[in-house]
Chains A and B, each alone.
Chain A
Amino acid sequence: MIGGYVITILITVVIYAILAHSLNIITGHAGQISLGHAAFFGIGAYSSALLYTEAGLPFWISVPLAAVVSGFIGALLGIPCLRVRDDFLAITTMGINFVVEAVFLYIPFFGGAMGIGGINLPRWFGREMTKPEYFFLIVMVFLLLLLLDRRLGRSWIGLAWASIREDEQSAEAMGVDVVRFKVMAFILGSSIAGLAGGFYAHFLTFIMPQNFGFGQSILILCMVVFGGIGTRWGPILGAIILGILPEISRPIMEYRTLVYGLLLLAMMRFQPGGLLGAESILPKFLRMVLRRS
């Protein structure tokens, strides 16, 4: 039905969309910049890989556990980090990313530079899942996450996050426990990134430290900013466009970092809200078209 190559791209794009969505909770909703999101993606991937290959747990247990581990480590790292603001937070999260990558690389338990292999696609009905089935599974999970996001956006938690994003001092004066709600966003974002890591590990079948470096963090941030930080659909659109672009054009693949860097600069200069930001050209254009028809 669909070729193996196409399904590979599709699965990668959905995993990136989940990642962008999870960073959007921290950076878009709660307004806390993170330059180290790939660390939690990696923690999830390594946890589920080790739980699967070493502890012998099935995919259906190792991946949810990976999310729990990521969320837990996110809480441990988030509680001290989130007491600092803005640029300090950016540097601290970046540091976390380098440390986590170094731990994977230099501690033999994590497989060193060779990484971990022998992770398989999940089994169901007595056989291994096909790639299209796997694609369907993670799309379903992603839809559930989006429902959760909508629910949270309409709750007091979402409102507290918005107030922290706008002005921390005012938020505190309105009775919002700023540190607690920031940590909450950080835990949720980290555990969803960990879930994405679990899906990624079982799809790639082997993982290496380089998959979870600082460059990856920047790529995720690019997707969020490009699509529209803080919007529900923007980061997904960003993940789709930036995930597919290098696949359809070789030159873009080769100059990937350069292209993304330029794109980010251009967005900051001309469309700081991203493609789907409230003040951006695309939504304005769509509204105009809708009004005409």
Chain B
Amino acid sequence: MLLKVVDLSKEFDGLRALDRVSFTAEEGEILGIIGPNGAGKTTLFNLISGIYPASSGEIHFQGRSILQMKPHEISHLGIGRTFQIVRPFQNLDVETNILVACGHPFYPDLWRSAEPFRKNEILEEVQMIIERTGLRPYTKQLARNLPLGFKKRLEIARALALHPRLLLLDEPSGGLRFEESTQLMDLIRRVRDQGISVLLIEHNMQVVMDLCERIVVLDHGTRIAEGTPGEIRSNPRVIQAYLGKET
């Protein structure tokens, strides 16, 4: 078991954004997290990646509690993430964006972080990641000049440079055209095939049903269902959460 979340809750000034959510993610699977707007999906990601402290509950990654860890420590353990509203380093070029993540083994040590970053083996790795994520034509472009689809790829590329065991992808297909999103899904599948597990928040049902082995459904901060795409599709509680109750 790669990731285990137990009874995780988060309150913001009395508002329960997440209420005793539990689930697990296995090695090498794509686990979908779906739910209507405001269900607490992004909050869940922000808790796992350490941006907010949890109100209660447990998060274990590779058998280790990561509840008290800071975001940079969690990224060192091998959890990479992307953001719902993309946040690449806008005024750095694509190559440098990825280089920042390649520095993760160097940052904790003062003397090693004083070493020059332009070293052959690191630049080669950056080129490999650029190749894998299809960013080749944009290598020297500033991130802010990239089309949205490629900004999203860049965020994935950056996360891959952390050598992650788990990727948290927050709505990768949001705002993309059909072809762009299909290509991105291919990329996510290839990432998984390399043995990296993926947690995927997604609104596009087509994408979720195609890509995920299992799906967790959240509504108003609670987990209302978990199962294979087929099970989820026919689950009455899920249908109710999305379409409302019949009167």
Contacts and interface: CB of A to CB of B under 8 A. Distances in A.
B114 A152 contact: yes
Nearest to B90: A166
Contact of A156 (B49, B117, B161, B162): B117
B51 interface: yes
Interface residues of B, number: 36
A223 interface: no
A201 B75 CA distance: 47
B103 interface: yes
Size category, A interface: 20 to 34
Contact of A176 (B81, B87, B107): B107
A177 interface: yes
Interface in A120-157: 151-152, 154-157
Contacts of B233: none
Contacts of B138: none
Contacts, number: 97
B103 A166 contact: no
B75 A174 contact: yes
Contact of A163 (B81, B100, B115): B100
B70 interface: yes
B87 A169 contact: yes
Contacts of A158: 117
Given A157-B114, A162-B96, A175 B107 contact: yes
B94 interface: no
18 contacts: A155-B117, A156-B114, A160-B107, A162-B100, A166-B92, A167-B87, A167-B90, A170-B83, A170-B158, A171-B100, A172-B51, A172-B75, A173-B75, A174-B103, A174-B104, A175-B162, A176-B104, A177-B72
Interface of A: 151-152, 154-160, 162-163, 166-167, 169-178, 181
- 9 closest cross-chain pairs (CB), A and B: A175-B104, A166-B89, A172-B71, A156-B113, A174-B101, A156-B103, A175-B75, A156-B106, A163-B100
Given A163-B100, A170-B83, A176-B104, 5 more contacts: A160-B107, A173-B72, A173-B159, A174-B103, A174-B162
